[in-house]
């Protein structure tokens, strides 16, 4: 909240900004650094089709489970301590799994790693709201951009790092980045101990109230954002999982198919810069959603109907459609009034959203194999778009998750959690 940012010294806010940006840069490394090295890993750890599929599903499942659990940790420990716990899990999991001799221990420690990053996903929006409430759009633009850079950077450098050493060196090196993120947040945690916080809730008359609760399961805003994020993330994970094999099946060579996926991923960068600076100025954010939805539709249709002609054009259209994800992250703060509310909304929306993202790519493959038709599988993307648009309609209204707490006393309780 604004009070927090004012009471935080300028050096503390610079440290928080550095910590937010570095955290965003590191969040996707554990997810996208392993697939390029899977053939090398299989020389030491025997993966099967089942365990390879399980590995692909771990990220959205872990993000879903720990997305739902993290708001409780934030409420108990605070934002900074929760973030430090998440980073400790991520670093320890990444380092330990490179020493595992068999597949299930590798997968178990991958879950530990992804649990840490799943918690980090949830903590980011409320951190922005706490330290930069008057610059939400600008800082969100910065951290969503760093997410895009990290998504590109890890697979781009995974193989060169493995060539210098081995696959263990490559995977383990990304833990160093997460370890560096710990530094500004440890400094911030100790600095906060010297900052005096109000002992009572605003307008409380000196009376300490019990902590208020927000139940996202009964919130229209929370459900709307969760539905929106589920429809969006499902499309993105389908592309990350199935775009290269689909294009190869339709006649493109392996290198070109891989380049198309890289093109799709990097196009998240320009929209990440644009969306948080543009959308807050719109009276109706659904206008932006409809524009990016049109990009998704053009991309889906072009890739399905003409996969080997103008392929880069269709992939560019779908890549620009990723602006819908940047809108989702922005809405976690635009549809909340308090840091606590932002954390609850972030955890609920990302928890259910990534659960949907875990199921759809798997069903996409099942439908394709069962029907021997890419058309039947691609029709699922139309369903994802419909789900996303339903969520967009729900969150278009400028209603916040705290609006279930109408009284000044209840809002004061929420402010105490900040």
DSSP H stretches of helix in 306-338? 311-320, 323-334
CB-CB contact of 117 with 175 (8 Å): no
Q: Quick one: pLDDT at residue 203? A: 36
Q: Quick one: pLDDT at residue 10? A: 55
> Cβ neighbours of residue 370 under 8 Å, at least 6 residues apart?
none
* Residue 108, helix vs strand vs coil: helix
Identical fold between 1-197 and 209-418: yes
Q: Which fold has domain 1-197?
A: Growth Hormone; Chain: A; (1.20.1250)
Q: Quick one: pLDDT at residue 241? A: 78
> Whats the size of the chain, residue-wise?
418
Backbone angles phi, psi at 133, to 5 degrees: -65, -25
Instruction: Report the mean per-residue pLDDT for the chain.
Output: 84
Return d(Cα 244, Cα 255) in angstroms, integer: 9
Residue 200 above 60 pLDDT? Answer: no
Question: For the chain, what percentages of helix, strand and coil (3-state, to nearest 5) are there?
Answer: 80, 0, 20
Q: Quick one: pLDDT at residue 212? A: 60
Q: Considering only CA atoms, which of 249, 35, 271 is closest in space to residue 154? A: 35
> Cβ neighbours of residue 310 under 8 Å, at least 6 residues apart?
302
pLDDT above 90 as % of the chain: 35
Structure-model confidence comparison of residues 99 and 404, the more confident one: 99
Q: Quick one: pLDDT at residue 355? A: 86
Q: Considering only CA atoms, which of 408, 226, 247, 253 is closest in space to residue 328? A: 226
Q: Quick one: pLDDT at residue 201? A: 37
Mean pLDDT across 83-87: 92
Return d(Cα 377, Cα 360) in angstroms, integer: 10
Mean pLDDT across 44-70: 83
Mean pLDDT across 147-166: 83
Return d(Cα 172, Cα 113) in angstroms, integer: 11
Q: What are 43-46's contacts with CB under 8 Å, separation 24+? A: 44/167, 45/100, 45/101, 45/102, 45/103, 45/106, 46/102, 46/103
Residue 202 above 50 pLDDT? Answer: no
Render pLDDT for 326-343 as a digit per residue (tens, 0 to 9).
Answer: 999 999 999 998 888 999
CB-CB contact of 282 with 392 (8 Å): no
Q: Quick one: pLDDT at residue 206? A: 35
Residue 414 above 70 pLDDT? Answer: no
Model confidence at 410, pLDDT cuts 50, 70, 90, reads: low
Q: Quick one: pLDDT at residue 193? A: 56
Residue 297 above 50 pLDDT? Answer: yes
Q: Quick one: pLDDT at residue 412? A: 53
Q: Considering only CA atoms, which of 65, 14, 83, 10 is closest in space to residue 339? A: 83
Return d(Cα 127, Cα 71) in angstroms, integer: 13
Q: Quick one: pLDDT at residue 12? A: 60
Residue 255 above 90 pLDDT? Answer: no
Q: Quick one: pLDDT at residue 56? A: 74
Q: Quick one: pLDDT at residue 4? A: 46
Return d(Cα 379, Cα 283) in angstroms, integer: 32
Q: Considering only CA atoms, which of 275, 288, 367, 369 is closest in space to residue 326? A: 275
Domain ranges of the chain: 1-197, 209-418
Return d(Cα 71, Cα 332) in angstroms, integer: 13
CB-CB contact of 188 with 12 (8 Å): yes
Mean pLDDT across 250-260: 83
Q: Quick one: pLDDT at residue 181? A: 87
Mean pLDDT across 179-190: 84
CB-CB contact of 180 with 373 (8 Å): no
Q: Quick one: pLDDT at residue 2? A: 41
Return d(Cα 108, Cα 93) in angstroms, integer: 9
Q: Quick one: pLDDT at residue 408? A: 46
Backbone angles phi, psi at 68, to 5 degrees: -75, -30
Least confidently predicted of 12-16, 124-128, 397-401: 12-16
Structure-model confidence comparison of residues 126 and 254, the more confident one: 126
Render pLDDT for 7-30 as a digit per residue (tens, 0 to 9).
Answer: 455 556 788 898 899 999 888 877
Q: Which fold has domain 209-418?
A: Growth Hormone; Chain: A; (1.20.1250)
Structure-model confidence comparison of residues 244 and 313, the more confident one: 313
Q: Quick one: pLDDT at residue 6? A: 43
Q: Quick one: pLDDT at residue 47? A: 80
Q: Quick one: pLDDT at residue 406? A: 56
Least confidently predicted of 108-112, 156-160, 310-314, 347-351: 156-160
Residue 96 above 60 pLDDT? Answer: yes
């Amino acid at each position: 909240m604004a009070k927090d940012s004012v009471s935080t010294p300028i050096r503390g806010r610079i440290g928080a900004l550095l910590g937010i940006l570095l955290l965003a840069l590191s969040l996707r490394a554990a997810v996208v650094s392993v697939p390029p090295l899977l053939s090398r890993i299989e020389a030491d750890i025997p993966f099967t089709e089942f365990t390879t599929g399980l590995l692909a599903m771990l990220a959205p499942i872990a993000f879903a489970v720990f997305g739902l659990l993290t708001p409780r940790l934030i409420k108990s420990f605070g934002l900074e301590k929760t973030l430090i716990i998440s980073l400790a899990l991520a670093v320890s999991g990444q380092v330990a799994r490179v020493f595992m001799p068999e597949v299930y221990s590798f997968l178990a420690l991958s879950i530990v790693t992804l649990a840490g990053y799943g918690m980090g996903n949830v903590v980011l929006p409320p951190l922005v709201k706490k330290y930069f409430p008057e610059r939400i759009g600008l800082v969100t633009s910065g951290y969503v951009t760093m997410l895009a850079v990290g998504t590109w950077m890890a697979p781009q450098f995974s193989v060169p790092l493995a060539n210098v050493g081995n696959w263990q060196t490559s995977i383990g090196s990304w833990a160093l980045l997460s370890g560096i993120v710990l530094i500004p947040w440890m400094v911030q945690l100790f600095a906060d101990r010297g900052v005096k916080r109000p002992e009572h809730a605003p307008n409380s008359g000196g009376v300490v109230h019990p902590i208020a609760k927000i139940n996202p399961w009964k919130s229209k805003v929370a459900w709307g954002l969760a539905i929106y994020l589920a429809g969006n993330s499902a499309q993105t994970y389908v592309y990350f999982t199935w775009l290269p094999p689909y294009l190869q099946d339709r006649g493109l060579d392996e290198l070109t198919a891989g380049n198309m996926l890289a093109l799709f991923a990097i196009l998240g960068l320009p929209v990440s810069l644009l969306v948080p600076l543009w959308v807050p100025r719109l009276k109706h954010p659904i206008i932006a959603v409809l524009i990016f939805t049109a990009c998704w539709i053009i991309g889906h249709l072009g890739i399905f109907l003409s996969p080997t002609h103008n392929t880069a054009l269709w992939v560019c259209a779908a890549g620009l459609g990723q602006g819908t994800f940047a809108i989702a992250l922005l809405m976690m703060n635009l549809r909340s009034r308090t840091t606590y509310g932002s954390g609850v909304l972030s955890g609920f929306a990302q928890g259910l959203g990534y659960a949907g993202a875990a199921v759809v790519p798997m069903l996409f493959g099942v439908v394709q194999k069962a029907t021997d038709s890419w058309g039947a599988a691609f029709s699922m993307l139309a369903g994802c778009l419909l789900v996303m648009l339903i969520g967009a309609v729900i969150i278009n209204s400028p209603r916040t998750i705290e609006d279930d707490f109408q009284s000044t006393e209840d809002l004061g309780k929420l402010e105490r959690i900040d």
